[in-house]
Chain A
Amino acid sequence: MSPEKGQVYPQNIAVTGLNSSENLAAGAPVIRSLRAVPAFTGKVVALAYDALDAGLYVPGLVDTSYLLPYPSQGLAALTARLSHVATQTPLDLIIPCLDSELQSFIRLESFLTAQGIHTLLPTEEQLVARTKANLAGLTARCGVAVPETRVVFTRGHAAQGLAGLPFPIVVKGCFCEAYVAYTPAQAAGYFDRLAMRWGVPVIVQEYLTGIEFNVAALGDSTGKMLGAVAMRKVILSNTGKAWSGVTIHDPTLLTLVQDIFTGLRWRGPIEIEVLKAARDGQWYLLEINPRFPAWIHLATAAGQNLPFATVRAALGEVVQPFTTYAAGLRYVRYAQDMICDPAEFDRLTAIGEIRREDHDERTI
């Protein structure tokens, strides 16, 4: 729900996930949602991993930008860098938007709290419970159906597919990316590609046909669901990412999402991917992503500003759950070439930061 009349939010909020390839991260849409709230008067601090993350160059989007070490460089490097950022730009809150960094931020929660930096993150146990490799375990925990799934560590096992089930199968990377394999040879080839890119294990899953839906949702610090907006992908990119979508409202789907919250007691942002199978009309849980999706601004436009609700819940406010949203609202993604100011690019690559104090003069 909206903040109380007259209340302002002068906090400085750091957001990650500013990269904008075909696989768009949620950072920029999350910031757009924060900027849509007049009561938010603080600064937006971009925490990026690459000087060419496009969100850094969108006029009016961020006030200050810092480069972070990649998660593979370890917690000590991230801790040192965040300590430096906090001395330069006081931070009140961080909203991580990338799967691969979540574990690091969860492990740093005590450090961040000690620095006065708020977060709203799942526990490490919750994070692990929703991984693709552990998805089947959610059937017992949350009462949701999951496609037949097998975790594999070798290309030979990937080529074997699923016992008792014919090809095609779906071969999935442990963080993202998925391919439909029609033959054992294809499955082995996709295993190589995904293992090289994302590491092992690789997940082999039953191929189900039907209608896919995605749900963006948020849980408060006690695991209570604060809001959920469902969307059907309308246009897909070559890698299956949504390029256009429409909000939908199905009470049975929202009940399933509530069951997942009840089972996991999830804290923080989440995206739940489900499929209504053509063969039996049943809902199947395909994936749970532990952060907001790139289409999160659609949820804001539909009436549930979940990124801003994250801010309020992380700051310790008691946030009343959203109860409605507009069904039938569509979005279509737009790609644009951002011109990078040479001086800003130089500062990012040389010293890893840009500080702007003039965002009011910019336009979003």
Chain B
Amino acid sequence: MDTRVDGARWSTMSVSAAGSLFDPGTGYAYTLNPVAVAIITAWKADESPDRLRAALLERFEVDTRTLERDLMEFMRRVKWLGLVT
């Protein structure tokens, strides 16, 4: 599954230390769990999908199949929220 996003847009968003995401273009804030923080931090750094997957596999106790399923679900949700087009 393609997990590339528009790095320029994500660079304007901020992730707080407490784990919330703020979109300065809309004023909406989102509460993130640690996995989401890791994904969005990678997006903000414009990291490649391969590096993102490798980082998630290294940091969290998850197998490849579950990771792909969770990434797909995450992408579906951020698209639904309008954060990714």
Contacts and interface: CB of A to CB of B under 8 A. Distances in A.
Contacts of B22: 327-328
Nearest to A230: B27
Contact of B24 (A211, A234, A245, A328): A328
Of B24, B27, B29, chain A has the most CB atoms within 10 Å of the CB of: B27
A213 B24 CA distance: 12
A249 B26 CA distance: 8
Contacts of B26: 211, 232, 248, 250
For chain A, which range describes its interface: under 10, 10 to 19, 20 to 34, or 35 or more residues? 10 to 19
Contact of A247 (B12, B14, B27): B27
Nearest to A213: B27
Contacts of A246: 27, 29
Nearest to B22: A328
Interface string B47-85: 000000000000000000000000000000000000000
A272 to B, nearest CB: 16
Interface in A188-238: 211, 213, 231-232, 234
A246 B26 CA distance: 9
For chain B, which range describes its interface: under 10, 10 to 19, 20 to 34, or 35 or more residues? under 10
A338 B12 CA distance: 42
B34 interface: no
A211 B29 CA distance: 14
22 contacts: A211-B26, A213-B27, A231-B27, A232-B26, A245-B27, A246-B27, A247-B27, A248-B24, A248-B25, A248-B26, A248-B27, A249-B12, A249-B24, A250-B25, A327-B22, A327-B24, A327-B27, A328-B14, A328-B22, A328-B24, A328-B27, A328-B29
A328 B24 CA distance: 6
Interface string B15-29: 000000010111101
Contacts of B14: 328
Contacts of A247: 27
Interface in B1-52: 12, 14, 22, 24-27, 29
Nearest to B25: A250
Contacts of B24: 248-250, 327-328
Nearest to A251: B25
Nearest to A245: B27
A267 B27 CA distance: 28
A35 B7 CA distance: 42
Nearest to A233: B27
The 4 closest A-B pairs by CB, nearest first: A232-B27, A327-B24, A248-B27, A246-B27
Nearest to B20: A328
B59 to A, nearest CB: 27
A35 to B, nearest CB: 27
Contacts of A211: 26
A206 B27 CA distance: 25
A235 to B, nearest CB: 12
A245 B14 CA distance: 18
Contacts of B12: 249
B81 to A, nearest CB: 13
B21 to A, nearest CB: 11
Contacts of A213: 27
Given A249-B24, A328-B24, 4 more contacts: A245-B27, A249-B12, A250-B25, A327-B24
Interface in A238-287: 245-250
Contacts of A245: 27
A249 B29 CA distance: 14
A308 B55 CA distance: 50
Contacts of A249: 12, 24-25
B12 to A, nearest CB: 8
A328 B12 CA distance: 12
A232 B29 CA distance: 12
Contacts of B29: 246, 328
Contacts of B25: 248-250
Nearest to A232: B27
Nearest to A252: B25
Nearest to A249: B24
